[in-house]
Amino acid sequence: MSRNVLITGATGTVSTLLMEALRGTDLNLRALVRDESRAAAVRERGAEVFVGDLGDPRTLPAAFEGVQDVWLLPPNGPRAPEHSSNVLWAARRAGAERVVRLSAVGSAHDAPTRSGRLHALSDHEIERSGLRWTILRPHWFMQNLLNEAGDIAGTGTFALNIGPARIGMIDARDIAACGARVLLDGPDRHHGRTYTLTGPRSVTFDEVAGDLSAALGRPIAYLPVSDDAKRKSLLDAGVPAWIADMLEEYAQAYVTGWGDFTTDAVAEILGRAPRDVASFARDHAGAFTSGR
């Protein structure tokens, strides 16, 4: 019998890719959006849309009615544990069976980032929720490089405050593919599992620049900058201070070698190796050429 899946965070990078990966399967897709103006794009991906706010549990019951599986991806911010808790409350009230949660790399109560510590609270709650559950903890998204597309297109450079650190970064398409596989495999196969998702190898941003150079056919250079310089550029671009501070914490952790690792989780779930940076660069060459 077909199962109903509710997608939260439906307009974000991973959830959008997840809906594409699940299109045409025997799962019935629902999507929760906070803003009705963004509903049309989600409907185009084959999902039934409900409007609700994870910060207001009174708006959630209709979306959860008749749902068996929930994809849980709250917005990153200081209220993330509250939003995650509201989803679990609504899921239990509606009789849902399973939650698949997108957490964060290194989520732990002693994580070096506020995001990792907040995610640990929600991971702990889901593990004791009484629902079947699976937790996915992805490493640094290759898609974060698209934030630098304007500079790469305009100047042939990109600047980050991560120095020479190596990171086992992952393509968000592989994160979505893992989420889709877990949902399609049914509620029991991955119950109680926490998967840390990475790419095939740890790379430096000089190596990333080399892959971008090969894909674009022109030299691209990585420019290490200070924390203060990167924070200023983020704030000038309109990034909220909380997010800018969180990103600085991640950068400081990566500089210590915290992100220099990979796992076999993607291969375990998908039966294939994860995409590498070179393939990501080739597939997104147009964005790095146009700056969009």
> What local confidence, expressed as pLDDT, does residue 46 receive?
87
Q: What distance in Å separates the CA atoms of residue 283 and residue 152, rounded to the nearest whole number?
A: 15
> What local confidence, expressed as pLDDT, does residue 115 receive?
97
Q: How many CB atoms neighbour CB 146 within 10 A?
A: 17
Domain that holds residue 216: 143-166+200-260+271-290
> What local confidence, expressed as pLDDT, does residue 1 receive?
61
Structural domain includes residue 188: no
Residues 56 and 78 in one domain: yes
Q: What distance in Å separates the CA atoms of residue 131 and residue 88, rounded to the nearest whole number?
A: 9
Residues 150 and 255 in one domain: yes
Which residue, of 121, 138, 155, is where some domain finishes?
138
Residue type at 278 in one-letter notation: A
CATH of the domain at 206: 3.90.25.10
Residues 150 and 282 in one domain: yes
Residues 72 and 153 in one domain: no
Residues 49 and 151 in one domain: no
Question: For the chain, how many structural domains are there in total?
Answer: 2
Structural domain includes residue 40: yes
Q: How far is residue 261 from each of residues 163, 197, 252, measured CA to CA in Å?
A: 17, 10, 16
CATH of the domain at 71: 3.40.50.720
Structural domain includes residue 211: yes
Residues 128 and 251 in one domain: no
Q: What are phi and psi of 26, to 5 degrees?
A: -90, 10
Nearest CA-CA partner of 175 in 148, 195, 202, 205: 195
- Look-up of token digits 């109680």: 192
> What local confidence, expressed as pLDDT, does residue 39 receive?
86
Residues 119 and 28 in one domain: yes
Q: What distance in Å separates the CA atoms of residue 138 and residue 172, rounded to the nearest whole number?
A: 9
DSSP-H helix ranges across the chain: 13-22, 39-43, 61-64, 80-94, 114-127, 149-155, 172-184, 205-216, 227-236, 241-255, 265-270, 277-283, 285-290
Nearest CA-CA partner of 212 in 111, 265, 108, 287: 287
Residues 104 and 227 in one domain: no
- Look-up of token digits 């239990």: 92
> What local confidence, expressed as pLDDT, does residue 117 receive?
98
Rg (CA), the chain: 19
Structural domain includes residue 56: yes
Residues 152 and 86 in one domain: no
What are the structure tokens assigned to 159, written together?
A: 């600047």
Residues 132 and 209 in one domain: no
Q: What are phi and psi of 166, to 5 degrees?
A: -100, 140
Digitized pLDDT (tens) for each residue of the chain, 292 residues in all? 689 999 999 989 999 999 999 999 999 999 999 988 888 888 988 889 999 999 999 999 999 999 999 999 999 999 999 999 999 999 999 999 999 999 999 999 999 999 999 999 999 999 999 999 999 999 999 999 999 999 999 999 999 999 999 999 999 999 999 999 999 998 999 999 999 999 999 999 999 999 999 999 999 999 999 999 999 999 999 999 999 999 999 999 999 999 999 999 999 999 999 999 999 999 999 999 997 7
Which residue, of 138, 155, 182, is where some domain finishes?
138
CA angle 250–161–238, rounded 5-degree value: 80
Structural domain includes residue 43: yes
Residues 131 and 213 in one domain: no
What are the CB-based long-range contacts (under 8 Å, 24+) for 147-150?
149/287, 149/288, 149/290, 149/291, 149/292, 150/291, 150/292
Which residue, of 95, 123, 138, is where some domain finishes?
138
Structural domain includes residue 180: no
> What local confidence, expressed as pLDDT, does residue 291 receive?
74
Residues 147 and 284 in one domain: yes
Q: What distance in Å separates the CA atoms of residue 180 and residue 163, rounded to the nearest whole number?
A: 34
